[in-house]
Structure 1
Amino acid sequence: MPLTETLELSILMPCLNEAETLAVCIDKAQAYLERSGICGEVLIADNGSTDGSQEIAAAHGARVVAVADKGYGSALIGGIAAAQGTYVIMGDADDSYDFSDLDGFMERLRAGDELVMGNRFLGGIEPGAMPPLHKYLGNPVLSWIGRVLFRSPIKDFHCGLRGFNRRSMLALHLQTTGMEFASEMVVKSTLGGSRVSEVPTTLSKDGRSRPPHLRSWHDGWRHLRFLLIFSPRWLFLIPGTLAFGIGMIGSVLLSAGPIVVGPVGFYSSSQIYLAALAVVGYQAVLFAILTKIYAQHEGFQIPRSRNFDRLQKKISLESGAIIGALLFILGLGIAIAQLAGWAASGYGALEADAAIRGAVLAALLMMLGAQTVMAGLFLGVLSVGLKRV
């Protein structure tokens, strides 16, 4: 079909040495286009096959685009860029997905949904098609984490069969090159306010004689890492706030003297650990705030928060410097008072526990002050206007 003709659908398959199953997948996709009367194409994003997959694809009427950069995500990014259709339905070329039954995807895409995910748990998983580790642990847990962190409606984050509006997907500027590309597509679509839905789909045992490219633990960790890093609120802000609150309150209370609760006593040694917890927690909170400000400054699509927007208007280099300086001066004042008390006693021996309690509180306040000043300075760097080329 001439590329100048307007196409409604591109059926995209990433390919790396799929000679055993590629032909049957292409034939099913071509049969669907013919049966449904959709003006479309079958597009193979080849990632450097050495088994003749390119020739097989061309012989069965598919268009082949070579993608030099290695990785599942790279192949799909290249394929999406080269696709001619208004809509794209992508799926693995291992004959595990049925390309002859795509009506559910097209119905939702034509209705205006911008990402339509297949759900294998709703449609049916053939015995032996998915390893038990993936079926009962990996996919359910990672999908649950994705729904919690990003309030996504998707219950099968990693289904390889999915359709989307090509223009909407290109606007998300997808970047990941590996298997975590599957999560990035769902997360950015959800955060960007795209219309997202699911349709039941089936999963069959693939037709390859070789092992799949997927590496369970390695790729599972990459998915989890992406989900966590893309959600600084849950990775840094909430744990950091809890750590800072516990550490700060505990350190201040113990600076007045030991606390005994039943058989358990908390003394200056406990205060030292609590102060360290407060510092680490405060650093995590600052990192979460600065990360979100940076993301908004760079135009990343992240959920907006009225509370955060109000906070952002109040914080600046100047306010950070003032608050940080006050905290530092307060800590320094405690240290000077301790030094004056020691001088008044003739620089003699001090009561160790009391001296440590005051010193820990003074050091904690000075560290928090210094951190606040440096965070304010970094915020000033972020706020510098730059000309975008």
Structure 2
Amino acid sequence: MMNAMSSQEAAHTGSLELTVVMPCLNEAETLAVCVDKAMAALRDNNIAGEVVVADNGSTDGSQQIATTHGARVVNVPIRGYGAALNAGILAAQGKYVLMADADDSYNFTHIPRFLEKLRNGADLVMGNRFAGGIGPGAMPPLHKYLGNPVLSWMGRTLFHTPVGDFHCGIRAFSKSAYESLALRTTGMEFASEMVVKASLQKQNIVEVPTTLQKDGRSRPPHLKTWRDGWRHFRFLLLYSPRWLFLFPGLTLMLGGFGLMAWLMPAERPLGHVNLGVDTLAYAAAAVLLGFQLVFFGVAAKVFAITEGLLPEDESFDRWFQYITLETGLIAGVLLLLVGIGIAASSVVGWAHTGYGPLPPVEMMRRTLPAMLCLMLGTQVCFGSFFLSLLGLRRR
């Protein structure tokens, strides 16, 4: 029978199946019980495994506690939740890795249900605390009823991630699948980045129910509600340029163009007011602002793919078979010519009046479209050069 302690022998032959990784920063109060529970779960279920404590600079003797109770300690000088976990995972000797906090809030007897999914071909197995049960006082009401549900909904909406608990701290994955993610973040965003990138790479993600109980520490947790909640929210948006830039930009552009087309011939009544050239000016501004957001979205996507932050996107690549530097320059020049043509016609009309006073409303109906075409044409031309520069593949 293989037990947790004899798994050290298996490590020398490369036959370890599971490594349990715990990030640690001054967890002396609860670390021993967590290591003991993880070791017992490995031993009682005949799992060839090990426990790794990724220590992030503890000053309370956590390192000695971990070693005394049979864990292997990996010292991580770079501070941060993500940095500690990444170092521990890379040092893992098992084929699979399960990560969990060292605060005695997670149930290590659930290790077999995670491992079963991995053995059946899952790349990432997420725990779901809402499905398994959250003990009294284990999760602040703000996290339970607002933060986690909202952020999990965003994950499902933005990245089609099939999980109901996006930020569960106990999860398991194959080490090879993890290494393909090439995670970059070192802080609390690490947990979100893992799920987002696994979704974008179309890895096999499944969930298992797990429980959460009130942690055993007497000090406050490292997690800060508003600061870390905002960081997760910001991260999800930054990894989805479509929702952050593209869709709002297209909405502004199409709405602005539609409003301009409606107001160009004449003033339009809307209830008890008339919409005229003032509204036309705001519509032109909406088109211009919308174009800039769309451009930011495309540029962000190109940069993220080029730098390896996001995986290759076949549909995006197909668009760029047609949207090239040359086509961008042609479109920009055409817009410039249209703007110059409208401006020239206005000057010709002014000449026919002997360069005298002109009706301001009538002239604004020409000036605004001319200005918009000139500005859009200039931005399209220079934006095409910028995208072409971003798209250069680095050796």
Short-chain TM bin: over 0.9
> Which runs of no fewer than 5 residues in structure 1 stay unpaired?
none
SS at match of 2:59: coil
SS at match of 2:73: strand
Q: Which residue of structure 2 aligns with residue 349 of structure 1?
A: 357
Q: Per-residue deviation at 1:383?
A: 4.0
Partner Cα separation in structure 1 for residue 329 and residue 310 of structure 2: 29
Q: 1:322 aligns with which of 307, 325, 330?
A: 330
Partner Cα separation in structure 1 for residue 201 and residue 55 of structure 2: 29
1:199 aligns with 2:208: yes
1:257 aligns with 2:266: yes
Q: Which residue of structure 2 aligns with residue 123 of structure 1?
A: 132
Residue range with higher mean Cα deviation, 40-49 or 355-364: 355-364
| Number of residue pairs matched by the alignment | 386
1:216 aligns with 2:206: no
Length-normalised TM-score, structure 2: 0.94
Partner Cα separation in structure 2 for residue 11 and residue 333 of structure 1: 69
Q: 1:80 aligns with which of 82, 89, 106?
A: 89
SS at match of 1:164: strand
Q: 1:112 aligns with which of 98, 115, 121?
A: 121
2:303–2:391: 8 Å Cα contact kept in structure 1?
A: no
Partner Cα separation in structure 2 for residue 156 and residue 303 of structure 1: 27
1:35 aligns with 2:70: no
Q: Per-residue deviation at 1:255?
A: 2.8
1:137-286 correspondence to structure 2 within 5 Å? 137-286=146-295
SS at match of 1:4: helix
CA-to-partner distance for each residue in 1:78-122, whole Å, 9 max, x for gaps?
A: 111111111110000000001233110010011111100000011
Q: Per-residue deviation at 1:310?
A: 3.3
Give, as a single letter, the amino acid of the residue that structure 1 aligns with 2:202: G
Partner Cα separation in structure 2 for residue 79 and residue 359 of structure 1: 63
2:128–2:210: 8 Å Cα contact kept in structure 1?
A: yes
CA-to-partner distance for each residue in 1:17-57, whole Å, 9 max, x for gaps?
A: 10000000000011111111111111000111111111111
Q: Per-residue deviation at 1:350?
A: 1.4
Q: 2:382 aligns with which of 366, 374, 384?
A: 374
1:191–1:303: 8 Å Cα contact kept in structure 2?
A: no
SS at match of 1:235: helix
Q: Per-residue deviation at 1:302?
A: 3.8
SS at match of 1:113: coil
Partner Cα separation in structure 2 for residue 384 and residue 40 of structure 1: 45
Distance verdict in 2 for CA 1:103–1:158, change over 3 Å: same
CA-to-partner distance for each residue in 1:117-149, whole Å, 9 max, x for gaps?
A: 000011111011000000011001100110011
Partner Cα separation in structure 1 for residue 328 and residue 24 of structure 2: 52
1:89 aligns with 2:94: no
Q: 2:347 aligns with which of 310, 325, 339?
A: 339
Length-normalised TM-score, structure 1: 0.96
Residue range with higher mean Cα deviation, 14-23 or 294-303: 294-303
Give, as a single letter, the amino acid of the residue that structure 1 aligns with 2:353: S
2:67–2:73: 8 Å Cα contact kept in structure 1?
A: yes
Partner Cα separation in structure 2 for residue 299 and residue 375 of structure 1: 22
Q: Per-residue deviation at 1:167?
A: 1.4
Partner Cα separation in structure 2 for residue 208 and residue 18 of structure 1: 8
Residue range with higher mean Cα deviation, 231-240 or 129-138: 231-240
Partner Cα separation in structure 2 for residue 301 and residue 352 of structure 1: 50
Q: Which residue of structure 2 aligns with residue 311 of structure 1?
A: 319
Q: 2:61 aligns with which of 41, 52, 65?
A: 52
1:361 aligns with 2:369: yes
SS at match of 2:320: helix
1:10–1:89: 8 Å Cα contact kept in structure 2?
A: yes
User: What is the root-mean-square deviation in Å for CA atoms of aligned residues?
Assistant: 1.5
Give, as a single letter, the amino acid of the residue that structure 2 aligns with 1:315: I
Partner Cα separation in structure 2 for residue 311 and residue 89 of structure 1: 40
2:305–2:312: 8 Å Cα contact kept in structure 1?
A: no
Q: Per-residue deviation at 1:290?
A: 2.8
Give, as a single letter, the amino acid of the residue that structure 2 aligns with 1:325: V
Partner Cα separation in structure 1 for residue 393 and residue 133 of structure 2: 53
Identity, % of aligned positions: 54
SS at match of 2:166: coil
SS at match of 2:12: coil
